[in-house]
Structure 1
Amino acid sequence: MANTRQVKNRIKTAKNISKITKAMEMVAASKMRKAQLQAVQSRPYATALEEILTKISQEQNILVHPLFDNHGIGSDLLICLSTDRGLSGSFNPTLFRKLLEWKVGHPKGTLLVVGRKAIAFTLFSGIQTFAQFSDLPDSIQLADILPITRIAMEGYLNHEFKNVSILYMDFVNTLSQKPKFQQLLPILPPDDSFTAQHQSHGEYIFEPSAKEILAELVPYYLENSVYQAFLESKASEHSARMVAMKNASESAGDLVDELQLIFNKSRQASITNELLEITTATLSLHG
């Protein structure tokens, strides 16, 4: 009976875990839908912003802007976007493998990390960081990431960094998120295919002027690029967490079924033994 009680306790524990993971799955699913919607809906805006930059570049030499200047002075800066919380499946391990690969290729590179998990990982791995950010809101806004873009922009303009890139988990769909490196600085001019696709066929009038618009547009383009990376990362995080909790709930359910079968067999064996003992005792009395 002791074994039966142990199995029964394990069933109770597994059911409790299943309830917790199911609740976490529902919370993650709610956050996932909002994050996915925000990331997907912002993509056309990012594309439109690049179109505007392309159109202005047809009127103004964009290479004169300092954020396009490939000065080659300073170190490489990588901005790594992780999560503040765990239970997100392979999200962070996949990201950190790419981070280690980058560090091997850039031993003197500078690292800016976002998220408690990245902070803990760099401390554990003995990797020095230039700056750390954590506890950013789930419904992230452009203003929330401005301190990060300011560090990158000022460092690049002051020749502290010769190259600025960002590493994040790019949202593909609910079941698929892929690590992605994206160069931020120097800003790459639109490639020929993009320029041809969005070639201007009419005359554009710029007010106050293409040069003045460019001076405001280029920094904003950088900020929006970083913001879009954050949105993709948030959508990936909540998707990965929802799937992880769903898998955990299903595994807990399977475990309950297995334990219930073991319990039933154990209980059946116990009852059978009791019946045998009663039968044996009865036969002895009548023997």
Structure 2
Amino acid sequence: LMELFLNKKIDKVELIYHHYKSKGTQELLRETFLPITLMTEDERWKIPQPDYIVEPDPQTIMDQLIPKVLKLKLYTIHADSVSSEHAARTIAMQTATDNADDLLDELTLQYNKLRQQSITNELLDIIGGSFGKPG
């Protein structure tokens, strides 16, 4: 991506990803990856600029630092998206488990009612049969 951007084959790179906020909340974010927006001139003048001696020169530092920052940003976004996906899967599986438990409880109740009805019918047949015999 950086090479394509530097060679002017692409003008802009935007990232769209899910940001993990909490177990039940993920937020869809859209960020500009390239070009990097550091500081505007107005913001730069608001910050006091001490006179530091920088070795190597600031341009060399930026040339080495920016690719590392971009790689770190991609890694962070990937980790964030994976965390969001796992959280969503966990919630989906928990919901499926809860639904299966509810269905099992409902089926158990229905089975017990049918079994009780069957026993009641057998008892009525036995009692009805004993009244029908002379004794």
TM over 0.5: yes
Aligned to 1:173: 22
Output aligned runs, 1:192-231, within 5 Å: 199=47, 202-231=50-79
Report the Cα offset of residue 260 of structure 1: 1.1
Q: In the aligned structure 2, how far is the partner of 1:267 from the partner of 1:206? A: 86
Report the Cα offset of residue 202 of structure 1: 3.9
Report the Cα offset of residue 271 of structure 1: 0.8
Higher-Rg structure is: 2
Q: Which amino acid aligns with 1:183?
A: T
Q: In the alignment, does 2:132 pair up with 1:284?
A: yes
Aligned to 1:257: 105
Q: How many residues align?
A: 135
Q: Please give the root-mean-square deviation of Cα atoms over the aligned residues, in Å.
A: 2.4
Q: In the aligned structure 1, how far is the partner of 2:99 from the partner of 2:54? A: 60
Per-residue CA deviations over 1:215-259 (Å, capped at 9, x if unaligned) read 111112211111111111111111111111111211111111111
Structure 2 alignment gaps of length 5 or more:
none
Q: In the aligned structure 2, how far is the partner of 1:260 from the partner of 1:223? A: 55
Q: Which amino acid aligns with 1:211?
A: Q
Question: Once the two structures are aligned, what percentage of the paired residues are identical?
Answer: 36
What's the TM-score once normalised by structure 1's chain length?
0.43
Aligned to 2:33: 184
**Equivalent position SS for 1:286:** coil
Q: In the aligned structure 2, how far is the partner of 1:232 from the partner of 1:248? A: 24
Per-residue CA deviations over 1:7-63 (Å, capped at 9, x if unaligned) read xxxxxxxxxxxxxxxxxxxxxxxxxxxxxxxxxxxxxxxxxxxxxxxxxxxxxxxxx
Q: In the aligned structure 1, how far is the partner of 2:96 from the partner of 2:115? A: 28
Residues 275/200 of structure 1: CA separation in 2 closer, same or farther (3 Å cut): farther
Residues 194/275 of structure 1: CA separation in 2 closer, same or farther (3 Å cut): farther
Aligned to 2:6: 157
Q: In the aligned structure 2, how far is the partner of 1:162 from the partner of 1:262? A: 65
Q: In the aligned structure 2, how far is the partner of 1:234 from the partner of 1:204? A: 41
Residues 196/235 of structure 1: CA separation in 2 closer, same or farther (3 Å cut): farther
Residues 177/201 of structure 1: CA separation in 2 closer, same or farther (3 Å cut): same
* Higher RCO, 1 vs 2 (CA within 8 Å, ≥6 residues apart): 1
What's the TM-score once normalised by structure 2's chain length?
0.86
